[in-house]
A and B are shown apart, each in its own frame.
Chain A
Amino acid sequence: MKYLLTSLVVLTLTGAAEAAGPAMEAAAKQATNWHAIIMFILFVGLTLGITYWASKRTKTTSDFYTAGGGITGFQNGLAIAGDYMSAATLLGLSAMAYGRGYDAYVYMLAFFAGWPVILFLMAERLRNLGRFTFADITSYRLNQGSVRTMAAISSLVVVIFYLIAQMVGAGQLIKLLFGLNYNVAIFLVGILMVIYVAFGGMVATTWVQIIKACLLLFGGTVVVVLAYSQFGFSLTTLFKEVEAVHKLGPKLMAPGNLLSDPITAISLGLGLMFGTAGLPHILMRFFTVSNAKEARKSVLYANGFVGYFFNVIFIMGLCAVVIVGQNPEFFEGGDINGKLIGGGNMVAMHLAKSVGGNLLLGFLAAVAFATILAVVAGLALAGAAAVSHDIYARVIRKGQATEKEEVTVSRIATLSLGLIAIVLGIAFQTMNIAFMVGLAFGVAAAANFPVLILSMYWKGLTTRGALWGGYGGVVSAVAFVVFSHSVWVVVLGYEKALFPYTQPALFAMPIAFGLAYIFSVTDNSAQAKAEKEAFEDQYVRAQTGFGASGATKKH
């Protein structure tokens, strides 16, 4: 049970709880929700308008991948926060706060604490060294062909697994919230994603993300203000009433059994913190601003919005304990000790209905759908960039491709990713895909992050070391996830898991770092010597930003 809960929680945080929640899977299709559909159509109309506007400004590769570097720190901060505050954050974490209280708050901090560290140690070096993808940085002084290929492959692994998880989650959620057919929902999400990215590139993707972040912050705030007002805006009153009615009583606000095992806790902390720092679509956001100063500001704003939103969601979940949990109207058969209508993840939706009626419920449902669209668009763009910029333009064409050719290839790549997402989204509909987000984060933390951080900080890293570290990280992260309970037992049906923990990071990260170290220090080739010497110039550029690409456009 603990395994299940822990993996469920990780998924909740990372964007696919909709897919993983057993309660959700069991949920029946809901009655068509017209308020939500009308508001959602308004959102789609607005974002398609923006995409049309953006498409006229998307000519060069720089426009396509990074919006010409002309996004401001504030805009980018909202967009990063948008990537973080998924539908699953809203629904899954409020549900967890409702059911398990304090444990949900601990996970929120784990998800939040990575950002300061990314800011202090990575943000300005990323911006100073990179142009379009993080592979620009890892291959800066190493072999362009092999290191870029490795970085592009691990990026694609992360993107595709994350995308499938989001698609399946989206289908389930939309079925539930809107009463739409699963396949219709998958096609709708896939097609809109392709349109946003292929025509509007990073400009459209960023604006979709910004609008959605604002809607989500607004919607969440309205719900919590209305709900919290019933407790006179007093935490003391809220705690008192929650303790009185919740079945866990005072234990609700104490650590539960989710983190009782220190190894799982630390591994989870590492995975969330450094997985975030290795997600290609998050890293790409650092190249959309004009310089390191704006990159730093982005993280400051993003961090502020995310921290605010987590606290809002937590209070929302606690308010729901009293407002939703004591109202028979929201329970199957009117039994408040039974199941919530629509499943456990509907807590935020029921709360919205209770405090703001069908209008607020519809608004929040539309925001949840918009959120999914924005997240998949960011993923598709990062995947397309790995294919067109890294593999096609740099490895296959060795930098000889024209801007036009490269943009065309990235559009074809976007379309292909859209098709893959739709096909796999439908294929995996009934499968337990709980492991996929864990896999995406595991690969990001164990393959992308170690090579990236070493290439920026360690002079001694050579091509050979980077390849061993990178591929070693991918293979070990995948192996640990496959051998863990969530795949070995749940998906493959074996009796007992070969790997006893749910989180691969604590084990896969040292393997990647170790391999990168050993195969670098033992590398005495002439190429390795030249690569170590090239670190000096890279180091000055990383520190000063001199020679880094600037903004070509303002938006």
Chain B
Amino acid sequence: MVISHKPLRFILAALIACLPLMSFSNTEKDSAHVQTEEAHGAVSEGHHTEPTDVKSKIKAFIGHHVLDSHDFTLTQDDETGKYYGFPLPVIIWDNGLHIFSSSKFNHGHSVAESNGNYYAINHHDGKIYRTDATGTISEDEKTGHPTNVRPLDFSITKTVLSIMVAALLMFWLFTSLAKSYAKNGGIASGVGRIFEPLVLFIRDDVAIPNIGEKHYKKYMSYLLTIFFFVLFLNIFGLTPLGINATGNFTVTFALAILTFLITNFSANKNYWGHIFWMPGVPKPMRIILAPIELLGVFIKPFSLMIRLYANIFAGHIVLMSIIGLMFIFKSWIGSTLSFGLSFVLSILEILVAFLQAYIFTMLSALYFGSAVEEHHHEEEGHH
């Protein structure tokens, strides 16, 4: 394919182009920041202690943003205590099904009652615990974790909702793309057409080189779905809606475990042979290598999970912290600079969104490729 190498080259070129920009703005910014921070600190110490309050508020806000939530809050007014957003359904299994709206929690301020049981949201981890009528949550002295009973929580949380929206969007986009081929005589038309080069890229530069011409077809559905799913959720995370699905440990764990299961269930004899009885090395070495290789089987998907989670999670924290700096500085130079920095970082985050989706897909394809690789080491040894 003619276009095959372009996206990768473009990503590399964009990355390299961004590097000097980033480092330049960073160094300049850091010195400016220190100055303004010092100046501001001096002023605040003299007059009032508000900045620490703003800081802790921002910290709490960021801390809550990166976690899942039972209601969809777009923004809130601290002074009036008014929330702008909508509640989501809470589904709990606790000796029977409890379904009620999350508005009952009143954003964690009230205790919700359902079929004689009382539930409350813990402020620290945003999870639902069974409590008494007053909503007391007792905490373990050593670990600080609540000791209350945690019911099985199948709520449609903010993350679940965003996953559903992403799934629906993907379904609509790609079915319309699929239909447009038949309508338009084999040439894509409509909005799905934007994604056709990406589909071809996944096929020609991710699946075929890593898995091989012979086996790649059976993995295509998974690779394409995971690429667009991660990509869409990454991009969703960059919108001001405050979604953080791919920066959620549970979501990346679920994705990684699917890669793990597919790799190991589709693996051939050769793959297991390479793990437990490595050909081509002395016998004592084989015994030493077996546990290492076996560990690798688990480390590979684990690294997938952590890589995506950490990249997106860290991106959100850094971006929100820099946006938060604007409210801490409250000076024209500091806020402008932190706006500029957050703008540049947002562009970098868009790159990261694509890059992480690509890397997840690429590595999954690589693992699938190793699982179905044909036996040819000994033949090579003879030559």
Q: Do A and B come from one complex?
A: no
B residues at A contact (CB < 8 Å) = none
